[in-house]
Amino acid sequence: MPRREIFTMGDIACAEGAISAGCRYFGGYPITPATEIAEWMAVRMPEVGGAFVQYEDEIASITSALGASWAGTKAMTATSGPGASLMMESVGLAVMTETPVVIVNIMRGGPSTGQPTRGQQGDVFQAKWGSHGDYQIIGLTPASVQEMFDLTVRAFNLSERYRVPVFVLADEVVGHMREKLVIPDEKDLKLVDRKMPTVDPSDYLPFKPGDDLVPPMALLGTKYQFYATGLTHDERGYPTDSDEVQIELITRLSEKVLRHVYDIIDVEKYMLDDADIAIVAYGTPSRSARKAIKDARAEGINVGMLRLKSVWPFPEKIVSELGSQVRHIIVPEQNMGQIYYMVRAFAAPTPIHLMTKPAGTPQLPDEILQKIKEVHSL
Amino acid sequence: MTTAPATLVHPMSKYIREDRLPWIYCPGCSIGIATGMIVRAIDNIGLDFSKVVFVSGIGCSGRTSGYFKTGTFHTTHGRAIPFATGVKIANPDLEVIVVAGDGDLAAIGGNHLIHACRRNIDMTVVCINNWNYGMTGGQFGPTTEHEKLTQTSPPPIGNMEHPFNLIKLAASSGATFVARWTAVQVRRGITSIEKGIKKKGFSFIEIVGACPTAYGRMNKLGEGVDMHKHLLEVTDIQNGLPPHEAEIEYDKRIVCGEFVDIEKPEYTDVLKQMHAKVRK
């Protein structure tokens, strides 16, 4: 399809991004504030020859997406906090079986049922540590309707490239805001497909990685026979309780992500060159921060922003360098402080100031401006 | 020079990952018999085995997928059916078979089972019912009979709960083919699995088996051979009986047969119709 410009909502931009990325399977369950993604997919998937399937719960939704992925279809699910909690089991299965899958979480107020119609950023840590065991995932954090599209495309590409579940973590405000969306000409989109095996089927080892630590992925129903399991497995895919295999596998599953941070991490540096105060933000609070920075600069305060478009794997090196560049760092988050702790871990001993707001209304520009002035006076 | 003695080759060995043998099952377990039924059914139909996909969950029966020499996936506990559903919808040309235990399918995966029956997606579910959770050492499950003893339903009462009748559950949830056999009705079981595979719709086949190591020991039901002899004695074959009459009582009577064989629009067929209509 040629380039198009439409005025639309973040959730719909996300769905269109998925379709442009080649997603042809959506498994979901209705949940506010992510339902618009499912509704849009219910109409659009059949139009592009794909499938929208509504399941009995979020556990089935994500698990079916894993099945579709192993049958060779780019697959996704979308949900919000309560559904994300149910999905954590299969996030671990996707990590262990190295299944490409995209999980969108339009974050609402929690814990529990919380505030379904109101935004928050309370699930950022859950995305990283929600399933049991040690592992790495990728988490992207859009802050606009356009980024809902762009980062969803990117989520599919990264998921295919590294055979890892990728989260799109958007707060409800980003999911429901309406802005201009430019859908690029499909010829201009760079899409990535998973590596497939080329060896003779008798030589195929389903979990033997390449130099990039990612194994080529055979599909179900092909000449390649294999066993994929959530159990710790060797290169043949066979279960084992060996210490050596467990250590090798778990290390590789993390390393295949961590070794490629240069390719995965995505940040925007806004007015940081001469800054002595930095704001680290993502999602909706970063939009308020941008306005506050302009206002503060009008009053002669050198402040800038490191905007995280990806939070997992955490940009440790970039934040560490930021810590040595500026006098103070402010972290406004729509939660009780999550990424704040990551910033503190890597930017210390630079003072880190947390602005919490675990509620539907994000930090307003004026509130951030006041905080900048307060920190500036220290 | 002496000639090496001819090695006996099992007629079904081409379907099995022999490099994974011997398998994990205890002596006297029915899972091997059920596995044999499935590959013989596939062999009888003459399916291209590379197009057959096995999906299983957790537990003893959940380990079966790993022994079939084709595309196989071992999911988390209870999630075999949703995974298999995703596979089938993404590639309807594949023959998707779920092999699972009673605990996996009817307890932790119970919601997926009933909704898959309702949704009517073309797949064959073979449920090996051994009356308890065997792999974890014998705890009561969704098919354990009232007052039977397990590690978590100890004397003096035994199981305080009541079991599901899986035939009634699958039939009332909308499955289009429903059958039950015990592990000793091998020939009949194979025929029903063949019919289930050929059926364009959701097929549910219960194979009632024995777990002498856990359930048999705790309830003094004898060794594997004794339990299988018993299954033969209490079997009451009633093909075509209304499913709500397909009673199952270990001590007295296990009604076996094919109880449901109906036609209903199948999900991937309907999806194809949807594609044809929206693309006009």
Domain ranges within chain B, ordered by starting residue: 18-278
Inter-chain residue contact A67 with B279, CB threshold 8 Å = no
Q: What is the average pLDDT value for chain B, to the nearest integer?
A: 96
**For residue A81, what is the domain's CATH number?**
3.40.50.970
**How far apart are alpha carbons A165 and A99 in whole angstroms?**
7
Do A183 and A279 have their domain in common?
no
B84–chain A Cβ distance below 8 A for any pair: yes
Contacts of B174 in chain A (CB under 8 A): none
The Cβ-side half-sphere exposure at A275, using a 13 Å CA radius, reads 27
Q: Which domain holds residue A369?
A: 268-376
By the 8 A CB rule, do A95 and A135 touch? yes
Cα separation of A147 and A290, whole Å? 16
Of B51, B66, B83, the CB nearest to A227: B66
Express each pLDDT in B136-194 by its tens digit: 999 999 999 999 999 999 999 999 999 999 999 999 999 999 999 999 999 999 999 99
A200 in any annotated domain: no
E-strand stretches of chain B: 52-56, 71-74, 95-101, 123-129, 177-182, 202-208, 235-237, 248-249, 253-261
Task: Give the mean pLDDT of A260-286.
Answer: 98
Task: Please give the backbone phi and psi of residue B102, each rounded to the nearest 5 degrees, phi first.
Answer: -65, -40
Per-residue DSSP letters for A8-67? Answer: EEHHHHHHHHHHHHTEEEEEE---TTTHHHHHHHHHHHHHTT-EEEE-SSHHHHHHHHHH
Report which of B208, B254, B259 is spatially closest to residue B235, judged by C-alpha positions.
B254
A226 in a domain, yes or no?
A: no
Does B74 sit within 8 Å of A25, measured CB to CB?
no
Q: Is residue A242 part of a domain?
A: no
Last residue of a domain, one of A170, A188, A206: A188
pLDDT for res B6: 75
Q: Answer whether residue A215 is part of any domain.
A: no
* Residue A105 belongs to a domain: yes
Considering the domain boundaries, does residue A10 fall inside one?
A: yes
| Same domain, residue pair A156 and A275 | no
Place of tokens 């050929």: B198
- Per-residue pLDDT of B48-95, as tens digits, reads 999 999 999 999 999 999 999 999 999 999 999 999 999 999 999 999
* Measured distance CA(A116)–CA(A139) in Å, rounded: 22
Query: CB A182: neighbour CB atoms within 10 A?
Result: 13
* Complex ipTM value: 0.97
Asked if the model's pLDDT at residue B1 lies above 60, the reply is no
- Give dist(CA A119, CA A240) in Å, integer: 44
Considering only alpha carbons, which residue of chain B is nearest residue A218? Answer: B71
Cβ-Cβ contacts under 8 Å, B91 against chain A: 71-73, 220-221
Q: Do A221 and B73 count as a contact with CB atoms less than 8 A apart?
A: no
Q: Judging by DSSP bridges, how do beta strands A277-281 and A328-333 pair with one another?
A: parallel
Tell whether B21 lies on the interface with A, counting CB pairs under 8 A. Answer: no
pLDDT tens, position by position, A68-103: 999 999 999 999 999 999 999 999 999 999 999 999
CB within 8 Å: B83 and A92: no
Question: Which residue, chain included where needed, has tokens 């994000």?
Answer: A362
CA–CA separation, A159 and A194 (whole Å): 8
- Answer yes or no: pTM beyond 0.90: yes
With an 8 Å Cβ cutoff, is B110 touching chain A? Answer: no
Cα–chain-centroid distance for residue A38?
18
Give the chain A residue nearest B85 (alpha carbons).
A64
Asked if residue A156 and residue A275 are part of one domain, the reply reads no
A110 found inside a domain: yes
> Look-up: residue for tokens 């856990």?
B214
CA pair distance B261, A242, nearest whole angstrom: 47
Spell out the residues 6+ positions from residue A43 whose beta carbon is closer than 8 angstroms to its own. Answer: none
B169, containing H or E segment: helix B166-173
Given the structure tokens 């399809």, which residue do they identify?
Answer: A1
Substitution target in A62, A93, A131, A220 with the highest count of B β-carbons within 10 Å is A220
What are the chain A neighbours of B85 within 8 Å (beta carbons)? 53, 60, 64, 67
For residues A143-147, give the mean pLDDT. Answer: 98
Provide the domain count of chain A: 2
| pLDDT band at B30; cut points 50, 70, 90 | very high
Buried/exposed B187-218: b ≥16 CB within 10 Å, e otherwise: ebbbbbbbbbbebebbbbbbbbbbbbbbbbeb
CB contact under 8 A, A220 and B84: no
The CA distance from A342 to the nearest CA of chain B, in Å, is 31
The answer to whether B54 and B99 have CB atoms below 8 angstroms apart is: yes
Quote the pLDDT of residue B76: 97
Residues A184 and A274 in one domain: no
Phi-psi region of A174 (alpha: psi -120 to 50; beta: other; left: phi over 0): alpha
Q: What percent of chain A has pLDDT over 70?
A: 100
Given this structure, which CATH class describes domain B18-278?
alpha beta
Mean pLDDT of B258-275: 98
State the CATH number of the domain containing residue A321: 3.40.50.920
Domain boundary among A188, A220, A241: A188
Token look-up 């910033």 returns A343
Answer whether residue A249 is part of any domain. no
Q: How close is the nearest chain A Cα to the Cα of B246, in Å?
A: 27
Which tokens go with A63?
């698990």
Residue whose tokens read 């929208």:
A52
The mean per-residue pLDDT over the stretch A306-331 comes to 98
Q: Which of B90, B111, B115 sits opposite A68 (nearest CB)?
A: B90
Cα separation values, A85 from A33, A111, B68, Å: 15, 10, 33
Task: Report pLDDT for B2.
Answer: 64
Q: What is the 3-state secondary structure (H, E, C) of B31-84?
A: HHHHHHHHHHHHHHHCCCHHHEEEEECCCCHHHHHHHECCEEEECCCCCHHHHH
Residues of chain B positioned with their CB less than 8 A from the CB of A51: 89-90, 271
Collect all residues with Cβ–Cβ distance below 8 Å to A298 and sequence separation of at least 6.
none
Show which of A147, A173, A188 is a domain's final residue: A188
